[in-house]
Structure formats: structure tokens, C-alpha cells
Amino acid sequence: MNLSARNNVKIHGGDGLPTMIMAHGFGCDQSMWRHLVPEFASRYRVVLFDLVGSGSSDLAAYDRQKYGSLQGYADDLLELIDAFATGPVIFVGHSVSATIGVLASNLAPEKFASQIMVGPSPRYIDDDPYRGGFSEADIADLLDTMEANYLGWSSTMAPAIMGAPDQPQLGQELANSFCRTDPAIAKHFARVTFLSDHRADFARSRTTALILQCSDDLIAPVEVGEFMHHAMPDSTLVIIANHGHCPHLSAPDASIAAMQAFLATPPPTA
């Protein structure tokens, strides 16, 4: 299989540099990294791709059985690392892709130098005392609404997910991105994402990680970041003063500064 076509792989930066791979979140595509790529392409070989079923990926490659769990995407990620990376990678994952990165790194930790998680969540549903941000009824309503009227759900939810009330064009951009996604695939991916529970996988992770959380995020409240920071033995938690779930779009300068500070810190010695 042609992995480049399957995942619409695009590479920025020269050969011989350490590899940074960026993976977008639900309903998005690789264009969401446009503010970050210029800042890192001079020092890293930045590999962008679209999750199968998203963006300009090969929709014919979408297999409901394979992608019936996030592990299917993690397996794809490991294939992309083998094909396009030089040495252990710095993996940057937004939202659900942060979980995909954890699943992949738990299988092959030697392939990962570190992980940067933007708005991650191992579980979206509350499970006392854990707070994921949604009740079971909330998620059921969300999925039912998507099933009944995906385009209507997209136009309503995208601005709320994006936040950034002072940048309404970003909410419209996210709504447009949702609407470009095949509705059947989007609804399937949403169920896989919002009904998953990967808390144990995060606790097993031994890869150095930056958890980049927003101060006001509808999808992943601050308590989620605090939970992961305590669960992951080699993690750094940074809270960005930002309203919304996509700080790489709505607060790129703060996101870049946090990433640069994390990457400049020497790794711990054994």
C-alpha cells in the first residue's frame, strides 16, 4: 500500500534533521498545524499526515473493523514512522491523536523520543472521582444528534469546540472542516473517540511527554490534564490561558513557546 497516498503525507524541512510528526484531531486535517510548521521546520523534519477517513486521505482505505478502535490509527502511525522518520520521533498529537500516540508508543517506545499532547483526554465521560467533562447522557445526546443531523451538529458544535470568541473565523473554519468529512466516517470515528477509555494506557506510558491543556476547554477540562500529569511518570503539564480546544490555532504563540521550552529541556538521565 502507498502510505503517502493513504495518509496524504507532506514533509517540511530537510533530510538529516530529527523528525517531528504532527497528527490532527477529530474532524480536522493537517492544515490545522499551519502556524506551527514554520517555527519548527528549520530544526526538524516535520511530517504531516491526515488520519484515514479525514482530510485528503484515501477514503477507500477506511475499514470500519480496523478503525473500530483507536489502535487501528496507532498501527498506521507506526507504519508512517518506519517509512518517513529518521530516528526516534517527537510526536505532536491534538486531542484524540494524543491517545493514538500513546497507544503507538506503548507498543514501540523505542520509536518515540517524546510526545507533545495538545488538548488530550484519555476518557471523555465522568467516572467518579475522575472528571472527563461529560456525563454518559451528554455523550449519548451528542452521538444521537450527530446521527440525526450531522451537518447541523457540525455548524453548532464547531464554534463551541474552537472557542476563541474573538476569532469567529476559526469556528467557521472548524465547521467547514467537519462538513468536508464523510458523515458516515465522522459518526463512526466519533463513537470510537468519545466512548473510549484509555486511562490505563496513559498510566503505562513511559515516554517523556508535554501535556498542553487550555484553561477553558469544553472537550478536555483542566482536571483531565491534571489526572494525566499524575498518571504519567515523566510528564510536564502546561496550562495555556485560552478559551477553546485548539490552541495551536487560537493561541499559536503560547503553544509554540510551551513546546520550545519543553524541547529545550534536556531529557532525564537514567
Concerning whether 217 is annotated as a catalytic residue, the answer is yes
Other Cβ atoms closer than 10 A to 23: 29
Strands, sheet with 45-49, edge to edge from the N-terminal-most edge strand: 10-12, 45-49, 19-23, 89-94, 112-118, 209-216, 235-243
Number of H helices, E strands in the chain: 12, 7
What is the Rg, in whole angstroms, of the alpha carbon atoms belonging to the chain?
17
Catalytic residue, chosen from 217, 235, 248, 255, is 217
Other Cβ atoms closer than 10 A to 64: 12
CA 89 vs CA 14, 45, 115, 196, 239: distances in Å: 15, 10, 8, 26, 24
| Closest by Cα among 171, 232, 242, 245 to 206 | 232
| Closest by Cα among 121, 136, 10, 3 to 70 | 121
Catalytic residue, chosen from 95, 235, 250, 255, is 95
Sign of CA pseudo-dihedral 244, 247, 252, 258: positive
Concerning whether 245 is annotated as a catalytic residue, the answer is yes
Concerning whether 58 is annotated as a catalytic residue, the answer is no
> What nine digits make up the cell of 92?
505532536
Catalytic residue, chosen from 24, 94, 245, 248, is 245
Q: Give the residue numbers marked as catalytic.
A: 95, 217, 245
